[in-house]
Homo-oligomer: A and B are copies of this chain.
């Protein structure tokens, strides 16, 4: 737990993280799911983990996976349909230029919705990361928008036990993803009440957004369902540990999470390429607890009072006081 929130992590935190240069990974982490789960349990306060279809879970191992989790007292916080780990999704999933691939994407999502129901997992995360384009004159933006909406509408009603969330990102793996920001995803989901949003804090930052503002906006439209936590240096999804760069932005984010009464998971989506996964996740946990303590120390009303003044010097004092400097 972090404050009153369930605290999770993506499973690869405890595996062997690779990038496009070092495809075999930087080493460390568990060699299989059992080992990764055993590592995860060493993280103080960790309540559950996210799994990616194909990478971690499939029709064959789903029962085993459930047991591995229950044996260790861990929840499955999220299932992520595999719409991005295989070459077949390379030109898109829900908005692929060809009909069969779009069809396959919808089927994949429905299948994972059912898996999630079976596993008592409350959410699935549709991340249309391959849905976009790399070059000019390579996408029909209006068709793609319609395909995305049609696909999501079809999936929304498939299984009422599980809420489908959409995760946005500016770029990577495409140079341009269609669903690239908080306002864009809200526009996309207008009128599709059953579908919510997963806010990846680092995606917001890398998209040039101010994460606290993105969180407030999503919440005001009833769609702040789930959070991915990580940090980066802007411009790219570095998937670094919480607390590494944007301390002030995180502090303000925690204020807004409390302000909009966010009740959901706080789940790490970090890539500790060269770090020990257990220690990296533990660091993030400590930072998040520190931010919650800092906000509590100042108090919600006192902060609201500062915001009302709209005075940068007063805001600066608030931050320094919150951080005990």
Interface residues of A (CB under 8 A from B): 17-27, 84-87, 89-92, 97, 129, 133-142, 145, 170-173, 175-176, 180-181, 183-184, 186-187, 190, 207-208, 210, 212-213, 216-217, 220, 232-236, 238, 240-241, 243-249, 251-252, 255-256, 271-276, 279-280, 282-283, 286-287, 290-291, 293-294, 303-304, 306-313, 315-320, 323-325
Contact = CB atoms under 8 A, between A and B. Distances in A.
A220 B148 CA distance: 15
A13 to B, nearest CB: 13
Given A19-B20, A324-B325, A137 B273 contact: no
Contact of A312 (B84, B171, B213, B241): B241
A157 B165 CA distance: 37
Contact of A141 (B170, B213, B251, B325): B213
A273 B91 CA distance: 10
Contacts of A315: 135-138
Given A138-B307, A272-B312, 4 more contacts: A21-B85, A135-B312, A208-B208, A244-B248
A310 B207 contact: no
A316 B244 contact: yes
Given A136-B244, A208-B170, A313-B283, A87 B141 contact: no
Nearest to A275: B312
Nearest to A208: B208
Contacts of A18: 20, 23
Given A134-B240, A217-B145, A323-B247, A307 B274 contact: no
A308 to B, nearest CB: 7
Nearest to A134: B312
13 contacts: A17-B20, A91-B310, A134-B312, A137-B255, A141-B216, A176-B210, A187-B187, A244-B319, A274-B312, A283-B320, A286-B320, A290-B325, A323-B323
Contacts of A246: 245
Residue among A248, A282, A306 facing the most chain B CB atoms (10 A cut-off): A248
